[in-house]
């Protein structure tokens, strides 16, 4: 590794960072009672052990009571944080990984109806479109107390033994002072750039007074809001220079863009289908202009791009944050010469979108992430080698095969299609979602490496499976779209999958009834609208596409809005009937009392899948457990020991959509937690 730019140590003041890879600050919403307890620590220690040089913990750790934890942030204003952060830091240090934390006051980027119901505060009254809280305008005493709060929090982190801190200044209170769009104060904290930066320099001065000149302090900030009337690139470069010249800042962690809307946030943190490393050149420019150490992260998913970022001199430290969520062992794998075995982040953004909607970050691709206390990132070998037969090579089946093979079992996979992938293969046909196929490719190549036998074009029946003389059978046959939801005219509707697979030709005037709220409806709409057709997506929900979630919707909505696709919420499709060569869609509402009709030429129904479970039921009688799963054991991570039929010759389980229509994470998680103890 001596020549690899990524493995050149980096000297930041007195701190030697052992390589150039870092995890940037991100709040996975794992705190318990606002504290980074065991789960939180295990998450960071797993990555520290694998060799990352620096982990920037938290994400928006709150310095004040009136910055309530809108996504379960760490409460850095409480003294008890010191003990928890010390434990985390000590354990990461044991593995040679430096630890810092991001501190912030969220300003208007939170809600008053969280925690203590204090008014949110900002240098102006304008609310943030995302969080929708109308702020109180800061008074002098707010500024004085928040400056103290920052310094108190910094002192706590120093007491906990952290190597440093960074202050968050993109979309939060600090840069709400900077931006003309949010700062509506008069002097001394509003008006000129000098005045708008005063709050930041007050905080830096107070931190330096309390923590001394050696403590490492950086700023993570937007160098260009990229928003009419906001901070321009020139403003950003000027701010960068002033941060450098003040002599109180040891590194700059550069962001480009604004995060006050879902779309803005998505440009700052790009998701799948968006450009790789879009702001790397910009970060490089800041480094060139200032000569200050520059850190940066934004969709640098693969090691080659990270290496380029360092080799080209654009960055000093490169953030691979979601990449480390998908694979915590990136550094260890590079060091072992196994770069090609890294589990790639596919940009699905389930992690980030879920901190609001699901209450904690989980990785679509890696169910052990965030569950380090219960689920293995590396599956241990079993004591006894068994023969495991898996039916179905979608995400669930492949994960089951991968985990079983890693346990040392003999594994045979039957797949009816030509290729592995199941539903994911269909999803990945939309160019914007092409990265999804890596979920399959990674698992497939791991399976091949471990000698799993694949039988493609094998439509296995019970006899085929029993002929393999299995010890364990895992049915992962997935599901088929269920469209029979109408009171009349089911045969006149096609499914979203029919559109995606090409089995149905797009119409010209199309109604998509989306009762599942997942990607299929959006992708079908995109495909149909691309032909120039008129498309309306209707849902009985109050919101569109709830399963896709906020940032992941951005690229889709951009595409659909360009093509004038319309959304109708709170209306439902009741029936369809034919009228000559047209279809009449009968529309109703859960709120009752109203019906409408639409003339269209195609109706698409998206209503999830029904399990393909015939094989499972055919295999039940021959199994020892009759398909029963002991949920207590499953959740506790214990082996399955149910015996309901002592004559049975194998254990039988089904996983993923073969049980019920869910999502890819659920399918993979089913497989991991079951098979890790087989
Ligand atoms: C779950 C999650 C939470 C995040 N929270 C924060 C945060 O609180 N503060 C912050 O500065 N960045 C936050 N980020 C952004 C990351 O630091 C990083 O900039 C972003 O993920 C892009 O880098 P990547 O493409 O390497 O993941 C968060 C990211 C994720 C995935
Ligand atoms: S959920 Fe998607 S974006 Fe997030 S870490 Fe996992 S693969 Fe990457």
Give tens-digit pLDDT for 328-346: 999 999 999 999 999 999 9
Please tell me the distance from the alpha carbon of residue 295 to that of residue 317, in angstroms, as a whole number. Answer: 5
Ligand 2 pocket (Cβ < 6 Å) reads 322, 325-326, 345-351, 363-365
**Residue spans of beta strands (DSSP E) within 623-675:** 651-654
Whether 121 has a pLDDT exceeding 90, the answer reads yes
Please tell me the distance from the alpha carbon of residue 460 to that of residue 393, in angstroms, as a whole number. Answer: 12
3-24: pLDDT as tens digits: 999 999 999 999 999 999 999 9
Confidence class of residue 269 from pLDDT cuts 50, 70 and 90?
A: very high
Please tell me the distance from the alpha carbon of residue 144 to that of residue 162, in angstroms, as a whole number. Answer: 25
Residues making up the chain, counted from first to last: 678
Whether 218 has a pLDDT exceeding 80, the answer reads yes
Identify the residue whose C-alpha is closest to ligand 2 atom 1. Answer: 363
What is the distance in A from the centroid of ligand 2 to the CA of 353?
A: 10
Position 276 scores a pLDDT of 97
625-643: pLDDT as tens digits: 999 999 999 999 999 999 9
Whether 2 has a pLDDT exceeding 80, the answer reads no
358-372: pLDDT as tens digits: 899 999 999 999 999
Here the tokens at position 35 are 């504290």
Residue for token pair 């000098």 = 194
Please tell me the distance from the alpha carbon of residue 5 to that of residue 493, in angstroms, as a whole number. Answer: 56
Task: HSE, CB side, 13 Å, CA atoms: give it for residue 403.
Answer: 25
Q: What is the pTM of this model?
A: 0.97
Partners of 519 in the β-ladder: none
* Max intra-chain CA distance, the chain: 84
Ranges of H-type helices in 407-508: 423-427, 437-449, 462-467, 496-501
Nearest to 54, CA basis, from 81, 86, 15: 15
pLDDT over 90, % of the chain? 99
293-316: pLDDT as tens digits: 999 999 999 999 999 999 999 999
Position 236 scores a pLDDT of 98
Which residues, other chains included, contact 415 with Cβ-Cβ below 8 Å and sequence gap of 6+? 391, 392, 393, 397, 454, 455, 456, 457, 458
Identify the residue whose C-alpha is closest to ligand 1 atom 16. Answer: 26
Report the interhelical angle of 280-290 vs 233-245 (nearest 10°): 40
The H or E element spanning position 514 is: strand 509-514
What is the distance in A from the centroid of ligand 2 to the CA of 228?
A: 31
Q: What's the whole-number mean pLDDT along residues 551-573?
A: 97
Here the tokens at position 639 are 């082996």
Ligand 1 pocket (Cβ < 6 Å) reads 24-28, 59-60, 102, 168, 220, 269, 297-300, 319-323, 351-352, 355, 361
Confidence class of residue 353 from pLDDT cuts 50, 70 and 90?
A: very high
What is the distance in A from the centroid of ligand 1 to the CA of 45?
A: 18
Helix, strand or coil, per DSSP, at residue 476: coil
Here the tokens at position 511 are 């109604």
Whether 542 has a pLDDT exceeding 90, the answer reads yes
Confidence class of residue 1 from pLDDT cuts 50, 70 and 90?
A: low
Position 357 scores a pLDDT of 86
What is the distance in A from the centroid of ligand 2 to the CA of 325?
A: 7
What is the distance in A from the centroid of ligand 1 to the CA of 351?
A: 10
Going by their DSSP bridges, the two strands 472-475 and 387-391 should be labelled as parallel
Position 332 scores a pLDDT of 98
Helix, strand or coil, per DSSP, at residue 639: coil
What rounded mean pLDDT belongs to the chain? 97
In the chain, count H helices and then E strands: 22, 27
Which of 20, 23, 25, 549 maximizes ligand 1 atoms within 8 Å of its Cβ, making it the mutation to test the pocket? 25
Q: Is the peptide bond before 75 cis (omega within 30 degrees of 0)?
A: no
Position 115 scores a pLDDT of 95
568-605: pLDDT as tens digits: 999 999 999 999 999 999 999 999 999 999 999 999 99
452-467: pLDDT as tens digits: 999 999 999 999 999 9
Position 223 scores a pLDDT of 97
pLDDT over 70, % of the chain? 100
User: Taken in order 318, 323, 328, 332, is the CA torsion positive or negative?
Assistant: negative
């Amino acid at each position: 590794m001596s020549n690899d730019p990524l493995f050149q140590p980096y000297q930041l003041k007195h701190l030697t960072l052992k390589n150039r890879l870092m995890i940037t600050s991100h709040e996975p919403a794992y705190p318990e009672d606002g504290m980074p307890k065991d789960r939180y620590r295990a998450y960071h220690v797993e990555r520290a052990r694998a060799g990352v040089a620096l982990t920037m913990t938290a994400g928006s750790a709150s310095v004040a009571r009136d910055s309530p934890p809108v996504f379960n942030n760490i409460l850095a204003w409480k003294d008890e944080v010191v003990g928890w952060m010390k434990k985390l830091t000590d354990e990461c240090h044991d593995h040679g990984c430096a630890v810092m934390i991001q501190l912030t006051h969220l300003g208007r980027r939170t809600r008053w109806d969280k925690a203590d119901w204090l008014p949110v505060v900002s240098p102006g009254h304008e609310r943030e479109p995302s969080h929708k809280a109308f702020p109180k305008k800061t008074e002098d005493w707010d500024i004085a107390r928040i400056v103290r709060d920052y310094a108190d929090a910094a002192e706590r982190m120093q007491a906990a033994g952290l190597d440093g801190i960074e202050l968050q200044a993109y979309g939060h209170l600090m840069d709400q002072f900077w931006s003309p769009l949010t700062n509506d104060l008069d002097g001394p904290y509003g008006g000129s750039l000098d005045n708008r930066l005063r709050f930041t320099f007050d905080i830096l001065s107070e931190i330096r007074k309390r923590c001394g000149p050696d403590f490492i302090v950086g700023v993570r900030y937007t160098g260009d809001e990229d928003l009419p009337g906001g901070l321009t690139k020139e403003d950003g470069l000027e701010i960068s220079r002033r941060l450098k010249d003040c002599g109180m800042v040891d590194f700059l962690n550069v962001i480009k863009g604004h995060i006050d809307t879902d779309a803005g946030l998505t440009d700052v943190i790009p998701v799948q289908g968006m450009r790789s490393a879009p702001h790397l050149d910009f970060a490089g420019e800041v480094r060139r202009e200032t000569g200050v150490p520059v850190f940066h992260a934004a969709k640098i998913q693969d090691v080659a791009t990270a290496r380029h970022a360092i080799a080209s001199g654009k960055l000093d430290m490169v953030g691979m944050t979601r990449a480390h969520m998908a694979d915590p062992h990136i550094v260890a794998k590079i060091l072992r010469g196994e770069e090609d075995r890294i589990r790639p982040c596919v940009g699905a953004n389930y992690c980030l979108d879920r901190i609001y909607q699901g209450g904690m970050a989980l990785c679509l691709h890696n169910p052990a992430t965030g569950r380090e206390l219960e689920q293995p990132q590396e599956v241990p070998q079993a004591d006894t080698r068994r023969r495991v037969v898996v039916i179905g090579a979608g995400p669930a089946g492949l994960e089951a095969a991968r985990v079983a093979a890693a346990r040392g079992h003999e594994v045979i996979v039957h797949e009816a299609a030509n290729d592995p992938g199941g539903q994911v293969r269909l999803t990945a046909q939309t160019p914007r979602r092409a990265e999804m196929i890596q979920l399959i490719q990674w698992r497939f190549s791991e399976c091949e490496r471990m000698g799993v036998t694949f039988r493609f074009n094998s439509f296995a029946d019970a006899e085929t499976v029993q002929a393999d003389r299995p010890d364990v059978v895992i049915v992962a046959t997935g599901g088929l779209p269920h469209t029979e939801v109408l009171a009349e005219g089911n045969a006149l509707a096609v499914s979203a999958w029919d559109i995606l697979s090409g089995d149905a030709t797009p119409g010209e005037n199309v109604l998509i009834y989306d009762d599942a709220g997942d990607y299929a409806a959006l992708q079908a709409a995109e495909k149909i609208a691309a032909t120039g057709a008129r498309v309306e997506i209707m849902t009985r929900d109050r919101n569109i596409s709830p399963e896709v979630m906020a940032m992941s919707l951005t690229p889709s909505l951009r595409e659909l809005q360009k093509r004038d696709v319309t959304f109708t919420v709170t209306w439902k499709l009741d029936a369809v009937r034919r009228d000559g060569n047209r279809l009449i869609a009968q529309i109703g509402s859960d709120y009752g009392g109203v019906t409408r009709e639409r003339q269209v030429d195609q109706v698409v129904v998206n209503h999830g899948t029904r399990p393909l479970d015939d094989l499972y039921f055919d295999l039940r009688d021959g199994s020892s457990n009759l398909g029963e799963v002991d949920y207590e054991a499953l959740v506790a991570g214990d082996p399955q020991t149910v015996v309901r039929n002592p004559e049975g010759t194998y254990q039988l389980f089904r996983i993923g959509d073969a049980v019920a229509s869910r999502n890819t994470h659920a399918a993979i998680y089913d497989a991991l937690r079951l098979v890790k103890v087989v």
